[in-house]
Amino acid sequence: MDVNQEIQNLKNKIRELNREYYELNESSAPDYEYDQLIRQLRKLENEHPELLTADSPTQLVGGTAESMFSPVRHEVPLESLNDVFSYDDLEMFISRTKTALGKAAFFTVEPKIDGLSVAIEYIGGRLHLGATRGDGLVGEDVTENLRTIDSLPKIIKNAPWRLIVRGEVYMSRETFIRLNEEREIKGEKLFANPRNAAAGSVRQLDSRIAKERRLDIIIFNLQYTDGEPFSSHAASLEALSEMGFPVVTHKLCESYEDCRRQIISIGENRESFPFDIDGAVIKLDSIADRTFLGSTSKAPRWAAAYKYPPEEKETVVEDILVNVGRTGVLTPKAVVAPVRLAGTRVTNASLHNQDIIDKLDVRIGDTVVIRKAGEIIPEIIGVNRSLRKTGAEPYKIPNRCPECGSAVLKDPDGPSLRCTGLECPAQLLRNIVHFASRDAMDIEGLGISVSEALIRQGLIKGPADLYYLDKDSVSALDRMGEKSAQNLITAIEKSKDNGLARLLCAFGIRQVGQKAAKTLSRHYPNLDALSEAKQEDLTAVPDIGPITADFIVSWLNSPQSKHQIKLLREAGVSFDSREEISDTRFNGKSFVLTGTLGGMTRGEASAMIEKFGGKVSSSVSKKTSYVIAGEAAGSKLTKAQELGLKVLSEEEFLALLS
C-alpha cells in the first residue's frame, strides 16, 4: 500500500470514530487505540508534508453541530489539545514553551475530565446560553438541558456583565452505575461508559430526560469577560470559584519534575474523583504568555494533554464466577490475585462471554495479562501459556443458571447465554417491572422503587405474588401511605382482566413483544390452548418463526413458568383472549400464489389466508398445502404438478372461504 492510500485509510477510520464519539455518543475503539491512529497519521504527514491537507483530522476538532439543535457560533473558539504520551514528550513541551518565552514559567496541572465540553454564557449575572463544542467554532444550543444541572449556578453574584466559561459536563460513576441498572431493568440499551451517558443526556431534545440523568459539571477555563482581566489562569479559577462555580482542581508547578509528580499523583488517585479522567492537562498559567504563544489551527501552543497509557499487568486467575444480570444474561468474571492497576486494587476482571473465553483460552490457574484503560472493570487481554499448570481444564459456562437452576439458552442474535427462569432471583426486579409496564399488565404505580421495596421486604418472589398482596402489607413500605397502597392494590386487581395478549407480553418470553402477543392472542382463545400448541403449530401463525416458537414452547414448559401460571390461575387472573378470535380453518396450512387473480390482488388473497390461520409462502415445496393458480401461472404451477400438490383455481379458493 502506498503512503497516500495509507494516509487516506487512516483519515477515513478516524473520521468514522469521530462521528461515533461526537455525534452518536458511542465508541467502537478504546481511547488508546484512537490516539495511536492519530499519532500514526501525524507521523506520516510530518514525513510527507506534501500530503497534509486542511481537512485532515490532525488539523480539526472532531465534532459537528447537529441540525436538530440551533447552531451557536462561539465567541472564543473551543480548541482541542495536543496530546503527549510519554514523560519525554512532556519534558519537550515544557522546554519548548520556556524557550519560546525566553524565561521561566509556571504551569497548572489539572485532571482531564472525560465528559462533554461546553461553553456557558452569563449576561447580567444570569445564565443566558449554553452550547456544545461542536467543531470548535460552531456548537449546539443545549441551554435548557444545562439548566437542569444542579451544580451549575443559574445566577451568579458579583460577576461582570458578560461572562463566558468553559466546562466539562460529566456523569458521576455512582450515577452512571445506577442509570445503567435502571436501563437494564427496563430492557433498554446500556451506555458503554459515563462519558457517552453524559453526552447523550446533554444532547436530548427533551430537557426532562437530561434532568432525570443527574448530570454534573466542572468549570476549567474562563473564556471571556468584559470585567477586569485576570493575569493568570489560577487567579481566574479562584475568582470563578468565589462566584459559585465548581472549578477543576489545579496545582501550580514551575518545573518539569513538579509537573511530572503532579501527573503521577492524579493518576494514582484517579478513583478519588467522582468522574472518570482520561489524562492530565498542563497549561501555561500566565494569560499574557498564552496570548504571546497563540494557537495552531486546532490547538493552543501553551497547553498539552498527557494521556495515561493503558496499564497492563500479569496476575493469576484464582477462579471464574458467573454473574446473572437483571435481564438473565450470564456474564463470567475472573477472580484474580490482587494487583494494583490504574490507581486501584483489582481483584476481578471481565471475561464478557463464552466466545471471549474460548478465544483467549483462559483457564483457572492461568497467569494472565489484565488491562484497565478507563474502563470501570478491567479486562483480560492475554494468557501467558508458558506458565500454565499441567491439568488445567478449558472453562465452560454452566448450562444451568447458577442462581435458580433453570436451563440456559444461547441468544440467537449474539454470544450471550440467558437464564430462562421466571422466578430467577437475579432477574426478579426486572421481571416485576416488565410485568407491570404499560405494554404488559399496565399496573399504575408499580415502578422500580416500589418493586424494589416489595422485593426487599420479601413480599414478592415472582410476578404472580403481586395478586396476593394486601393493603396493610403494602402501606407498611417506606414512603408508601395508605392511599397510595390502596391505589396500587386497586390497579393490581384491575389488571386481572387485561386478557391473554397483555399477559403474554408481561411474561417476557424472548421475541414475544406486544405485536407477537396480540398475534398469538388472535389465534388462540386462551393460555391453555396456547400451552398445548407444538412448535409446528406455532410456526403456522403469521410472523411467528421457528426460533420464536421454540422460545414459547420452552418457556411454557419450564417448571418455574408452570408454577407462576398456577399461582396466576388461582389468583383469578384471566387467561382468555380479548382479541377478535379468527376462524382457524386454515390453521397449519401453507399456500403459494401464482399467476394473476381476476377478482382480487395477491395481497388481498394473502390477507384472507392469514386471517383464517394459514401461512403464505413464496416458494413451492413438499410442505405446501395448496397452490392457488391464476391466469398465466408459471414455473410454480409446473413444480406443484410435478410434486402432486393440490392446485386450486380462484373459484375453488373462494369456495373454501365461504
Decide which of 338, 359, 387 is a domain's last residue: 387
As a whole number of angstroms, the distance between CA 496 and CA 509 comes to 19
Inform me whether the pLDDT recorded for 3 exceeds 70. yes
* Same domain for 103 and 191: yes
* Same domain for 551 and 519: yes
What is the Cα 420 distance to its own chain's centre? 23
* Same domain for 476 and 363: no
pLDDT value for 539: 87
* Same domain for 299 and 248: yes
Inform me whether the pLDDT recorded for 37 exceeds 50. yes
Number of domains in the chain: 5
pLDDT in tens, 241-292: 999 999 999 999 999 999 999 999 998 888 889 888 889 999 999 999 999 9
pLDDT in tens, 603-624: 788 878 877 777 788 788 888 9
Is residue 342 a part of any domain in this protein?
A: yes
Query: Mean pLDDT throughout 158-184?
Result: 90
| Three cell numbers written together for 159 | 460577576
pLDDT in tens, 339-381: 988 777 889 998 988 999 999 999 999 999 998 755 567 889 9
**Strand pairing report for 116-123 and 162-170:** antiparallel
Give the three-state DSSP class for 571: helix
pLDDT value for 196: 84
pTM of the model: 0.66
Q: Domain containing 205 — which CATH number?
A: 3.30.470.30
**What amino acid occupies position 122?**
Y
* Same domain for 510 and 437: yes
Is residue 255 a part of any domain in this protein?
A: yes
Q: 360 φ, ψ to 5°?
A: -80, -20
Q: Closest by alpha carbon to 88, among 306, 312, 374, 311?
A: 306
Query: Mean pLDDT throughout 81-87?
Result: 91
Is residue 584 a part of any domain in this protein?
A: no
* Same domain for 141 and 228: yes
Q: Which domain holds residue 284?
A: 71-306
* Same domain for 519 and 506: yes
As a whole number of angstroms, the distance between CA 67 and CA 89 comes to 39
Alpha helices in 362-470 (DSSP H): 428-436, 448-456
pLDDT value for 178: 85
Neighbours of 433 (CB within 10 A): 21
* Same domain for 600 and 565: no
Cβ contact 564:463 at 8 Å: yes
* Same domain for 382 and 432: no
Inform me whether the pLDDT recorded for 581 exceeds 60. no
Inform me whether the pLDDT recorded for 21 exceeds 70. no
Is residue 65 a part of any domain in this protein?
A: no
* Same domain for 481 and 456: yes
Question: Which residues, in sequence order, are CB contacts of 11 under 8 Å at separation 6+?
Answer: 41, 56, 57
What is the Cα 91 distance to its own chain's centre? 39
> DSSP letters of 233-299?
HHHHHHHHHHTT--B---EEE-SHHHHHHHHHHHHHTGGGSSS-EEEEEEEE-BHHHHHHH-B-SSS
Is residue 395 a part of any domain in this protein?
A: no
* Same domain for 479 and 378: no
* Same domain for 136 and 244: yes
Decide which of 306, 325, 358 is a domain's last residue: 306
Could you give the residue numbers annotated as active site?
Answer: 112
Is residue 605 a part of any domain in this protein?
A: yes
CA dihedral for 289, 291, 295, 299, sign (positive or negative) = positive
Q: In what order do the strands lie in the sheet with 116-123?
A: 126-132, 116-123, 162-170, 216-225
Is residue 299 a part of any domain in this protein?
A: yes
Decide which of 364, 387, 410 is a domain's last residue: 387
Is residue 322 a part of any domain in this protein?
A: yes
